[in-house]
Amino acid sequence: MQRRALALIALQLLLCAAPGDLWCYDSQDPKCGPGHWKDFVKACGGDSQSPINIDRHRVQRDRNLGDIVFEGYDQAPPGKWRLMNDGHTVMMSLEGESGSEHINITSGGLLDRYRALQFHFHWGNLKENGSEHTIDGQQFPMELHLVHMNYKYKTISEAKGHPNGLAVLGFFFKVSDADNSNYNTIVAGLKNVSREGDFVDLASTFCLNNLLPSVAQLSKYYRYKGSLTTPDCAEIVVWTVFEEPIPISQSQLNTFVNTVHFPATGTSLKKMTNNFRPPQPLKNRKVYASKDATISHSAKPSASLLLFPLLLALLIDQFSGPS
């Protein structure tokens, strides 16, 4: 095992490649799936990893977590939007030509302004959900990540040196009866990014707002400090996970599952499915609920508290005898 890890590291050094070239999801090959990432990328075994399960009994209300300010989310960008298959997900790059106006987020407890870099998805298969974060142990069918970089830093590698380098917004999906027409352009573009390295310039651009739940729902979110959910698993992300899911039809979801493929290995081409990392230990971290987010007030009653009335009832039953 140790030797294999060393060999992998040696190989990476040799090829001068990012660790990204060796990791995979269990659906591709369990030998390089999420459980093994820490064997060749130490950070993936760190104390502040993402995703996590958000336990609503344990989150802490923070009334300073008010509305996030979305700048440019309400304008269709002038340039083309390029959708691509990077071998792990389907990603839309949001970085226009240099000089063009950036899409930003700020406020909502974020201490800095962050500009949008890209968004991408994590999904399951035809039978199983595929979100990365879970809420009270429940996984959702799909999750959208909008990745933003702190304006303080000029490059990703500079941002990687700082725990507030990136701000990622996570949105769950839920299955709706009708198609979500705001996703038509993306869903239609999937057939053009079927293979790793494929890209397509979308026929039309649209406001990012259109991809999200209604504005009134965006004040409900959970906040915590975590990491990228793929190697190198850098612990540089201020996470915001929204409570309100985005509706999408089963047939739109199925198009993700059925159309896009992982990188070919030899002659075999596998569909891109279950491209999510499971929840990681929370360890010493806290998850904060925004001023409007749902929390479960009742602390989980301990087992003994639940058992006591039951035992009492049994005792009373014993002593009262047959009636």
Which one among 138, 250, 251, 265 touches ligand NAG, defined by CB under 6 A? 138
Beta carbons within 8 Å of 308's beta carbon, 6+ residues apart: none
Q: Single out the catalytic residue among 25, 73, 114, 153.
A: 153
Which of these segments, 54-62, 91-99, 100-108, 269-277, binds ligand NAG (CB under 6 A)?
Answer: 100-108
Least separation in angstroms between CB 141 and ligand NAG: 5
Taking the C-alpha atoms of residue 85 and residue 256, their distance in angstroms, rounded to an integer, is 11
Which one among 58, 113, 195, 270 touches ligand NAG, defined by CB under 6 A? 113
Least separation in angstroms between CB 56 and ligand NAG: 15
Radius of gyration of the chain (CA): 22
Q: Single out the catalytic residue among 88, 102, 133, 261.
A: 88
Angle in degrees, CA 206, 211, 214, rounded to 5: 115
**101 near ligand NAG, judged by CB under 6 A:** yes
**145 near Zn ion, judged by CB under 5 A:** yes
Does 102 participate in catalysis according to the annotation?
Answer: no
Least separation in angstroms between CB 101 and ligand NAG: 5
Taking the C-alpha atoms of residue 163 and residue 273, their distance in angstroms, rounded to an integer, is 30
Structure tokens at 78: 């002038």
The one of Zn ion, ligand NAG, none whose footprint includes residue 145, by CB under 5 to 8 A per kind, is Zn ion
Beta carbons within 8 Å of 306's beta carbon, 6+ residues apart: none
Least separation in angstroms between CB 277 and ligand NAG: 16
Closest-by-Cβ residue to Zn ion is 145
What is each CA distance from 93 to 80, 98, 132, 242, in whole angstroms? 10, 13, 21, 22
Applying CB under 5 A, the site for Zn ion has a residue count of 1
Which of these segments, 58-66, 133-141, 145-153, 172-180, binds Zn ion (CB under 5 A)?
Answer: 145-153
The residue (of 23 and 73) whose beta carbon lies closer to ligand NAG is 73
Does 25 participate in catalysis according to the annotation?
Answer: no
**51 near ligand NAG, judged by CB under 6 A:** no
The one of ligand NAG, Zn ion, none whose footprint includes residue 141, by CB under 5 to 8 A per kind, is ligand NAG
Q: Of residues 115-134, which lie at the interface with ligand NAG (CB under 6 A)?
A: 129
Which one among 200, 206, 210, 263 touches ligand NAG, defined by CB under 6 A? 200
Which one among 174, 283, 286, 300 touches ligand NAG, defined by CB under 6 A? 174
Site string for ligand NAG, 280-309 (x = CB under 6 A): ------------------------------
**141 near ligand NAG, judged by CB under 6 A:** yes
Nearest to 169 by CA among 63, 232, 92, 242: 242
**Contact set with Zn ion (CB under 5 A):** 145
Catalytic residue set: 88, 153
